Amino acid sequence: MQKNDIITLTIEDMGINGEGIGRYNGMTFFVKDAVVGDVLSARILKIKKTYGYAGIISVLTPSADREKPQCALYRKCGGCQIQPLRYEKQLDLKQKKIFDSLVRIGGFDREEIAGIFAPMVGMDVPYRYRNKAQFPVGTDKNGDPVVGFYAAHSHNIIPVSDCLLGVADNRGIVEAVLAYMKECHVPAYNETTRSGLIRHILIRYGFSTKEIMVCLIINGTKLPFSDSLVSRLALIEGMKSISVNQNRENTNVILGDRTDVIWGQAYITDRIRLWKCGSRIVSDSSDEFSLTDQAVSYHISPQSFYQVNPVQTEKLYSIALDFAGLTGSETVWDLYCGIGTISLFLAGHAREVYGVEIVPQAVADARENARRNGISNASFFCGKAEDILPAFYDRVVQSSVHGEHEDAMLHPDVIVVDPPRKGCDAKCLDTILKMQPQRIVYVSCDPATLARDLKVLCGGGYRLVKGRGVDQFCHTVHVETVVMLSHKKPDSIINVKVEFGEGEGKVPLDNIAKRAAAYKPKERVTYKMIKEYIEAKYGFKVHTAYIAEVKRDLGLPMYDAPNAVEELKQPRKHPTAEKVEAIKDALKHFEVI
């Protein structure tokens, strides 16, 4: 076999990127746009040592699960990788993707996972669901401006004014911007020469309010003839905000740091409704969800993180809230909180909620959203979760005096995380384990990093209790997952009935105090207590790992320590003889030995 050979392939499986997988003469081939069950005539595009890539020439026998894509540009665009696959099978594929990651990366048992996870939450109509569109702007071969999407694995723009995943209003906005550029001779940005002005068109849409925002990202400081653009866009029904964002950097990042409003307001408003769902959902029908009268209103700016599929977001956040198991008395941390979308839902069912987000504008939006909704028990901190949470924990732990409020924050009932695709930072995970919340709710947009982080959390004293996938990104290979972890509890409980008073089999009342004192359990000795004792008596500090090493050498029982999950880049040095004796002295002092 060699490149350009024509082969016949039967597609037996699908990969994590939506490609079909078939075998020919013992070699595995990956085929874009192929569906399980297809029999294809394919051309070999590339051959590696044990696998290769092939392209479809023709579908000899179509799969029973193959459907004609509704978008004529799906193969060129590459945004909808699995649009030819019947939608019900798309949900099966995404469930399998979650399970495969948890088994392969997280080390979980497949049968156990299958018993924990409820069916995927799909959409009744998996089109026109995106509330956000980002159109790159360039020029065609004639030098005329063109707007669309990048072709797969390139920055070649395919002209698209109306994507079937986006709202229908996008088309009129794109056409208005193109007409303005042509009439006023405003040049598109050229990535090669870094010249030209307009780089992207950002459109945001409020599904519940029908409000529209348009932001033009420019390679400059000012948009010429802006009145001409405004006069066109302002006529579009629902238009509330028109702004210009400056990005003069040579980067793939779309938005720059500065945004100036040129018409209307700086935000649009949308609402997310709460749905009631069972803790153990056994059906994949939307009938299992019932709408409540609770809703939270949000201000959304160009830089705000806001889930792109509001229909599914309501289901996703409702499941996350259900998994949190709040009764009204809990303290909750919400990490990577964005504009407070989850935080404000939690605040309606908890005593206090503390959100952490790195983007300053998002934090400002979160605080404003809390004020607008009359929510006073949600506070927000600006910074990286891996900086804010450990710094708070270390400060309170090291403080000799702290109140009930700080103690509740130090040992929260629930921690919710909704990190970006790269998952949680190791420092953040380590601090979560130290804080030992009763429950952890993890919302993930990448099953691989979810599995990686769950392996750490479950290795630090937690167990996976519930899970569910939500199809936020229909016709693509991406999937949102929400899981709940619970702190490990004893395997069994023995109930003992004791009767007090005089007579056979009863405990005399005058002996209660004496026996209680005799059987009173000793105070739990912590590593912190040992470290403080040594520092006070000997004047030096010892690392937790040194204490563990001495306990292990003495044959004392060892327990899973939260910081034991950390993988050290290099072996830690052994304690000196002086520190070993100090540790033994502390263990004797606390009657451990």
Which tens digits make up the pLDDT trace of 98-118? 999 999 999 999 999 999 999
The pLDDT of residue 141 is: 87
Q: Does the structure show a pLDDT above 70 at 565?
A: no
- Which is higher by pLDDT, 341 or 151? 341
Q: Which of the residue ranges 137-146, 162-171, 465-474, 549-558 would you say has the lowest mean pLDDT?
A: 549-558
**Banded model confidence at residue 208, pLDDT cuts 50, 70, 90:** very high
- Which is higher by pLDDT, 384 or 562? 384
The pLDDT of residue 471 is: 97
Q: Does the structure show a pLDDT above 50 at 267?
A: yes
Q: Which domains does the chain have, with CATH numbers?
A: 1-66 (2.40.50.140), 104-124+270-487 (3.40.50.150), 132-266 (2.40.50.1070), 527-589 (no CATH)
How many C-beta atoms surround the C-beta of residue 541 within 10 A?
11
Q: Does the structure show a pLDDT above 70 at 486?
A: yes
- Which is higher by pLDDT, 545 or 281? 545
Which tens digits make up the pLDDT trace of 380-397? 999 999 999 999 998 888
The pLDDT of residue 348 is: 92
**Banded model confidence at residue 308, pLDDT cuts 50, 70, 90:** very high
Which pair of structure tokens corresponds to residue 31?
């085929």
Burial of 517 from C-beta contacts in 10 A (0-12 / 13-18 / 19+) = exposed
Q: Does the structure show a pLDDT above 80 at 27?
A: yes
**Banded model confidence at residue 566, pLDDT cuts 50, 70, 90:** very low
List, as own/partner pairs, every contact residues 539-546 make where C-beta atoms lie below 8 angstroms and the sequence separation is at least 24, other chains included.
Answer: 540/579, 540/582, 542/575, 542/579, 542/582, 542/583, 543/572, 543/575, 545/572, 546/574, 546/575, 546/579, 546/580, 546/583
The pLDDT of residue 134 is: 95
Kind and range of the H or E element at 262?
A: strand 258-264
Rounded mean pLDDT of 394-409?
Answer: 79
Q: Does the structure show a pLDDT above 80 at 287?
A: no
Rounded to 5°, the CA angle 359-389-445 comes to 55
- CB distance 56 to 30 below 8 Å: no
The pLDDT of residue 539 is: 82
Measuring CA to CA, how many Å separate 441 from each of 104, 274, 322, 457, 491?
A: 21, 17, 10, 11, 22
163 classed as catalytic: no
- CB distance 7 to 1 below 8 Å: yes
Rounded mean pLDDT of 530-535?
Answer: 85
The pLDDT of residue 73 is: 87
The pLDDT of residue 530 is: 87
Residue owning tokens 């912590």: 526
The pLDDT of residue 16 is: 87
Q: Does the structure show a pLDDT above 80 at 518?
A: no
Query: Of the residues 424, 445, 458, 474, which is catalytic?
Result: 445
Which tens digits make up the pLDDT trace of 421-477? 999 999 999 999 999 999 999 999 999 999 999 999 999 999 999 999 999 999 999
Which tens digits make up the pLDDT trace of 496-513? 666 666 666 665 656 655
